[in-house]
Amino acid sequence: MEDGVLKEGFLVKRGHIVHNWKVRWFVLRQNTLLYYKLEGGRKVTPPKGQILLDGCTITCPCLEYENRPFLIKLRTRTSTEYFLEACSREDRDAWAFEITGAIHAGQPGKVQQLHMQRNSFKLPPHISLHRIVDKMHDSNSGIRPSPNMEQGSTYKKTFIGSSLVDWLISNSFAANRLEAVTLASVLMEENFLRPVGARSTGAIRSGDLAEQFLDDSTALYTFAESYKEKTGPKEEMNLSTMELSGTVIKQGYLAKQGHKRKNWKVRRFVLRKEPAFLHYYDPSKEENRPVGGFSLRGSLVSALEDNGVPTGVKGNVQGNLFKIITKDDIHYYIQASSKAERAEWIQAIKKLT
């Protein structure tokens, strides 16, 4: 990482005039958040734009877009708003933490307070659980249950654990994620919520109140009075349903070379096990449907040389590349943002091949 760079990586940014969403490479420095276009797997200089952090305010989690749960909103001193989407809750929170630190860099006491908040919580006194649940049911600003899948079963009227944690923080019922998890666990103990599926049900066996509710995008919950399960025999499921029923073990933004035009585009990759599949999504689209994917059984994955353009790669694209060859002999060329990230992806994929 360059000198003075606090954090860098892919985020999806909403346009100012036309509210479309495009992937940009962001570089966080002490006073500025820069963003770049990418061409051929490389950032194009000079920067496409910059966000001045002096006097900026940050909202995280930001729930203004229902289909984009991992948003950060920045509002500058001049009231310009920026919406930035990360690939996961963990990635979003890591960006928000670093950006918040950069905003308050001139206030050492504030930075110390942020670090303390990250690992501590205090449950607000005199919480009215009934008021929280009533607001959760609000048709405009509440939690919106929807069908979700876990291990081949479809559960109606459910929501994921990390979404509820986001909602509790956004509505000021909790100050941080640990406090929100504790509060959600209390709601379960008082029979306002119920766990759904093996992952969330297994967690309630924990003796620690703060660990009974899972701040996780794969753990499902529902309102106690609306519990309904709809399961179908696995042999009747279509292939796409089976592919997407595995447990998510890794996700992130990677650049991928197209098969026909050989151009490079950033995609959100999601690695699942049982069954082992790698899917990729177009982060500029609202719908959460993969635009492609393949089984990892029988696949080969390997790093490509960093000196020179490897065979099969079009254009002057080099550095942090790796290749996956499926059992059907289809070649996928993928670029990570760093050597460390490439090594992590290769290691995770190899375990499933």
Summarised one tens digit per residue, pLDDT across range 124-178 is 555 678 888 889 999 888 998 888 887 778 888 899 999 999 999 999 888 888 8
CA nearest neighbour of 146 among 70, 230, 77: 230
Strands (E), 63-167: 71-75, 81-85, 146-150, 153-160
Q: Is it the case that residue 56 has pLDDT exceeding 90?
A: yes
pLDDT at residue number 227: 45
In angstroms, the Cα distances linking 239 to 155, 242, 244, 297 are 18, 5, 9, 15
CB atoms within 10 A of CB 320: 22
Q: What is the pTM of this model?
A: 0.70
pLDDT at residue number 203: 79
Walk me through the domains of the chain, giving residue ranges and CATH numbers.
5-118 (2.30.29.30), 129-227 (1.10.10.10), 243-351 (2.30.29.30)
How much of the chain exceeds pLDDT 70, in percent? 86
pLDDT band of residue 108 (cuts 50, 70, 90) is low
Highest mean pLDDT among 46-50, 155-159, 250-254, 255-259: 250-254
pLDDT band of residue 89 (cuts 50, 70, 90) is confident
Residue with tokens 């093996």: 198
Per-residue pLDDT tens for 210-228?
Answer: 567 898 888 999 998 754 4
Task: Show the 3-state SS of 236-293.
Answer: HCCHHHHHCCCEEEEEEEEEEECCCCCCEEEEEEEEEECCCEEEEECCCCCCCCCCEE
pLDDT at residue number 24: 93
The DSSP 8-state label assigned to residue 107 in this structure reads -
**Contact between 320 and 336 (Cβ < 8 Å):** yes
pLDDT band of residue 238 (cuts 50, 70, 90) is very low
What kind and span of H or E run contains 195?
strand 193-196
pLDDT at residue number 18: 74
Give the distance, in angstroms, between the CA of residue 92 and the centroid of all CA atoms in the same chain: 6
pLDDT at residue number 233: 39
pLDDT at residue number 153: 80
pLDDT at residue number 12: 95
d(CA 277, CA 206): 30
- The whole-number average pLDDT for the span 92-115 is 75
**Contact between 255 and 335 (Cβ < 8 Å):** yes
Q: Minimum mean pLDDT among 47-56, 135-144, 281-290: which range?
A: 281-290
d(CA 196, CA 199): 8
Average pLDDT over all residues of the chain: 83
Q: Is it the case that residue 239 has pLDDT exceeding 70?
A: no
Q: Is it the case that residue 85 has pLDDT exceeding 80?
A: yes
Per-residue pLDDT tens for 312-337?
Answer: 888 777 689 999 999 999 999 999 98
- The whole-number average pLDDT for the span 250-255 is 94
Q: Minimum mean pLDDT among 126-130, 190-194, 233-237, 311-315: which range?
A: 233-237
CB atoms within 10 A of CB 115: 11
CB atoms within 10 A of CB 293: 17
Q: Is it the case that residue 16 has pLDDT exceeding 80?
A: no
d(CA 323, CA 301): 6
